[in-house]
Structure 1
Amino acid sequence: MALGTPRVHFQNAAGQVLEQPAGSYVIIRYTAGPRQFADLQTLLGYAKQLLALRQWHKVVADHRRMTPFTPAESSWVTDCWLSMPSTRMQDFYGAVLLPAEVLARIPAEERAREATANALTYRRFADEPEAAAWLMQLV
């Protein structure tokens, strides 16, 4: 299923926030290399604003090129960014795109299983069309 080209909503040194209106989801595409913590916070802040503006609850997080989160970044993402009040969003789904070599090291049953981190129910994928198909079947 072709969804068309997503529209860039915001971009900085940490990555891009895109919107995919045909699928009613946001794409966070992280860039390669080092980043400033403030750039990551700004990037994810714009993603959160776009989700609220469109009243969407689905996101593709493209980690395929990014440098892994630092412990401080991981804590901030978990404690702050993912702590969305249940009154604003009942269900929040994320399709996490990982490099194929990283995904290959994760047991198949764990890759296929949905997991939950704070308010986010997520699943891991190697490619965007597969991730989009999963998100599209969610209400």
Structure 2
Amino acid sequence: MALGKLRVHFRNAAGQVLEQPTGRYIIIRYTNGPRRFADLQTLLGHGKQLLALRQWHKVVGDHRRMTPFTPAESAWVTDCWLSMPRTRMREFFGAVLLPADVLGRIPTEQAEGEAIANALTYRLFAEESEAAAWLEQLP
């Protein structure tokens, strides 16, 4: 696991974007409670900008305290945020952190396997250290 110090890149009511320079990935850590759609779009927009600026292709999505996405937010994330052109980024990897009780209700093969959603190859984790270790072994 990378030992570099996390840097806060951006924060608002929806969460914060952190950068892990040693591991060459970002963390999007969502806050709990209701959020405005515009705040979510701004938060994820800053995450996307940081990935492009650093020419990185790995992200930890920390959903452990987050209120689940609304259908409109889910659609926007899938249709807009994850639609990064392949010409700008080789592969795109995401480690999704879920609360342990939620992760325990997901079928084992889904929780332990890799999945692909749009341009993102992702894996589910309960612990940030496991997520970081998985991202750091990727190219």
The TM tier, using the shorter chain, reads over 0.9
Do structure 1's residue 13 and structure 2's residue 19 form an aligned pair? no
Q: Deviations over 1:7-32 (max 9, x none)?
A: 00000000000000000000000000
Task: Quote the Cα distance in structure 2 between the aligned partners of 1:120 and 1:65.
Answer: 22
With structure 1 as the length reference, what TM-score do the two structures score? 0.98
Aligned pairs (5 A) from 1:37-52 = 37-52=37-52
Q: The residue matched to 1:69 in structure 2 has which SS?
A: coil
Q: The residue matched to 1:64 in structure 2 has which SS?
A: coil
Deviation at 1:112, TM superposition (A): 1.0
Aligned pairs (5 A) from 1:26-45 = 26-45=26-45
Gaps of 5+ in 1: none
Deviation at 1:4, TM superposition (A): 3.0
For the 8 Å contact 2:26–2:47, the answer to whether it is kept is yes
The residue type paired with residue 92 of structure 1 is: F
* CA 1:2–1:58: 2 relative to 1, 3 Å: closer
Task: Quote the Cα distance in structure 2 between the aligned partners of 1:112 and 1:68.
Answer: 21
Aligned pairs (5 A) from 1:107-118 = 107-118=107-118
Q: The residue matched to 1:131 in structure 2 has which SS?
A: helix
With structure 2 as the length reference, what TM-score do the two structures score? 0.98
Deviation at 1:2, TM superposition (A): 4.8
Deviation at 1:5, TM superposition (A): 2.6
Structure 1: 4+ residue segments shifted above 6 A: none
Q: Deviations over 1:89-116 (max 9, x none)?
A: 1200000000000000012221111000
Task: Quote the Cα distance in structure 2 between the aligned partners of 1:64 and 1:3.
Answer: 22
Task: Quote the Cα distance in structure 2 between the aligned partners of 1:101 and 1:128.
Answer: 15
Which has the higher relative contact order, 1 or 2, with Cα contacts under 8 A spaced 6 or more apart? 2
Identity of aligned residues (%): 79
Aligned pairs (5 A) from 1:64-75 = 64-75=64-75
